[in-house]
Amino acid sequence: MKDKFFKYIHELQDTITSKLEAIDGKARFKEDLWKRPEGGGGRTRVIENGNVFEKGGVNISGVHGKLPESMQAYFGVEDADFFACGLSLVLHPKNPMVPTVHANWRYFEMYDQNGTIVDQWFGGGQDLTPYYLFEEDAIHFHKTCKTACDKHHPEFYPKYKARCDEYFYNTHRNEARGIGGLFFDYCKISDDMTMQNWYDFVTEVGDSFLEAYVPIVEKRKDLEYTKAQRDWQEIRRGRYVEFNLVHDKGTLFGLKTNGRIESILMSLPPHVQWVYDHHPETSSEEEKLLHVLQNPIDWINV
């Protein structure tokens, strides 16, 4: 399974980066191959200063070795080895009318001292972080997510949409990071799901990413915007940074397993503002966004 999924994310990275380069029309992804001293490595691809994408990364990694003590304590195991692979992407467009997007699809195995698999699971998801809310874009993104989920289980979309709303939440701000999407983790063998079933589901979601995001980019990338709207984008990016550094489990796992710091933090945008006690004007488009971030919406039945 690990070889099969590792091959899949290699191919998906190629597909996604090729499409994004075509959309941008100017910038190209810079590729960086790296190795982890304890075992494994990855292929980082970063795009910067493009016509459309100010900064973005589409990274894959496959790392293995002894599970660090801090993570052994987290999982409640002793002397365990692990293998983890996944694709993680974040795209920060230049135009504030185009939303930031994040996606991740990953697979994990844990072994005992004899090298026998004692646990394995899939995880991942995709979510949208707009700066200006276009309801039709939110509906499109969520409908695409639901279509992918419904091919595998009728309860997946409502379940993983709710988990996404719960997970990507800045508790210290009492607001969501964005308008959600899907989030699933610890997807293991059960009475009605084999690991092959989970593989089929996760790859279905991965294959749906471009369909979910690209039409939104193409519709919004050439819209005009003001400096004030750009400032708002940078203020909201600050909240994105706060979530990634304070709450995100993937960032935490990477830092605690001696992951490559440049790849872990490639999700951070290049231009950000933190304005003291900032509040948007009453009844403005900016305030409208904040209201939605504080009150998650059922975008399928809106």
Phi, psi angles (nearest 5°) of residue 122: -105, 160
Distance of CA 115 to the CA centre of its chain: 31
Residue 197 lies in a domain: yes
- Strands 100-111 and 169-170, by their bridges, are unpaired
pLDDT in tens, 83-100: 999 999 999 999 999 999
Portion of the chain with pLDDT greater than 70, in percent: 100
Catalytic residue among 10, 64, 92, 102: 102
Residue 213 lies in a domain: yes
Residue 299 lies in a domain: no
- The answer to whether 47 and 23 are in contact (CB under 8 A) is no
| pLDDT of residue 72 exceeding 90 | no
Would you state the pLDDT for residue 71?
78
Predicted TM-score (pTM) of the model is 0.95
Report, as an integer, the average pLDDT of 130-150.
98
pLDDT in tens, 225-269: 999 999 999 999 999 999 999 998 878 877 877 778 888 888 899
| pLDDT of residue 59 exceeding 80 | yes
Domain housing 230: 2-294
Q: Which DSSP state fits 270?
A: S
Residue 279 lies in a domain: yes
| pLDDT of residue 70 exceeding 80 | no
Would you state the pLDDT for residue 237?
98
User: How many separate domains does the chain show?
Assistant: 1
| Known catalytic membership, residue 140 | no
Average pLDDT, the chain: 95
Residue 302 lies in a domain: no
Report, as an integer, the average pLDDT of 215-221.
98
- The answer to whether 173 and 166 are in contact (CB under 8 A) is no
Residue 288 lies in a domain: yes
How far CA 132 is from CA of 283, 285, 286, 292, in Å, comes to 13, 7, 7, 11
| pLDDT of residue 135 exceeding 80 | yes
How far CA 285 is from CA of 27, 230, 288, in Å, comes to 31, 13, 5
d(CA 265, CA 256): 14
| pLDDT of residue 202 exceeding 80 | yes
Spell 58-94 as b/e; 16+ CB within 10 A means b.
bbbbbbbbebbeebbeeeeeeebbbbbbbbbbbbbbb
Can you name the residues that pair with 46 across neighbouring β-strands? 30, 57
CATH of the domain at 186: 3.40.1500.10
Would you state the pLDDT for residue 216?
98
Lowest mean pLDDT among 13-17, 29-33, 65-69, 114-118: 65-69
Would you state the pLDDT for residue 256?
77
Enter the tokens of residue 241: 């940074």
Would you state the pLDDT for residue 5?
98
